[in-house]
Amino acid sequence: MPELPDITAYIAALEQRIVGQPLEQIRLASPFLVRSVDPPWQEAVGRTVTGLRRLGKRIVIALDPDLFLVLHLMIAGRLRWRERGAAIPGRIGLAAFDFANGTLLLTEAGTKRRAALHVVRGAGGLAEHDRGGLEVLGSSLDAFAARLVAENHTLKRVLTDPVVFSGIGNAYSDEILHAARLSPFALTQTLAGEEIARLHRATLETLRSWIDRLIRESAGRFPEDVTAFREGMAVHGRYRQPCPDCGSPVQRIRYAKNEVNYCATCQTGGRILADRALSRLLRGDWPRSLDEWEERVNPNRSSRARERGET
């Protein structure tokens, strides 16, 4: 799912293209995209774009005088900028938004249609789509800490909860926790003050760094390579690859349709965190350290290392 840095990059590109432009037409390939009834989506046609903003993981397109298009890309929704009047792609196309200088296409890979468009009127209607999460980029340490420890949950869960923090998802939470040198399963109310400060700093630096990088990489073109797995990430999507900081193999825990990626050396003191399904199956055979894990993955290499007296 596109997260805060990706959405910010989309908005930066759209601001250059559609602010001040009238929305000439909306073409829908899937009637299920529009999830609101009043006001009708046709009311947006002919109105001029006055600005864009991010609302959590949603893109908000403001139209004069008080109408908003709220676009939630969900997991597989993506935006593409094409010449004016471009055809909607047959299999993955959901909608086209036509402007005088080009067309914004909305696509969604896969068979499940989860992307959504809401048309809302006024600040009150827009507020209904705000999950209430703290905007971390403008947050003080005190405000961040208050949200973090309000309830006692794992860091992974809290960072990805839109009611607690706005716009952070699975991918960038992995990167933040690696930068902060904290376990994804550490409980929020057990953190020391220095650890909270480190997490706050890592959150700001990670998000700002990726925003700058994505905007820089898409300079002069539209960002169409939005993905959850990016070259240059430290741990997310890098299972069994070496950690860029210590060289240890990146570990992974899968749950539901998500996963946690982390470095045991940098984040958990060398301890392998138990995967709920696998640890239940293996019980006492679940590896509890990197040495055990490496021996199970490559027993011949580990045996040779012991013979040479390596640790």
In order along its 311 residues, the chain shows pLDDT tens digits of 899 999 999 999 999 999 999 999 999 998 899 999 999 999 999 999 999 999 999 999 999 999 999 999 999 999 999 999 999 999 999 999 999 999 999 999 988 889 999 999 999 999 999 999 999 999 999 999 999 999 999 999 999 999 999 999 999 999 999 999 999 999 999 999 999 999 999 999 999 999 999 999 998 899 988 988 899 999 999 999 999 999 999 999 887 677 899 999 999 999 988 765 555 544 444 445 556 655 655 666 544 444 444 44
User: So what CATH class is 4-127?
Assistant: alpha beta
Task: Give the separation between CA 103 and CA 8, rounded to whole angstroms.
Answer: 19
- Same-fold call for 4-127 versus 134-273: no
Q: Please give the model's pTM, rounded to 2 decimal places.
A: 0.88
Q: Domain residues of the chain, as ranges?
A: 4-127, 134-273
Contact (Cβ atoms closer than 8 angstroms) between residue 109 and residue 68 = no
Q: Does domain 134-273 have CATH number 1.10.340.30?
A: no
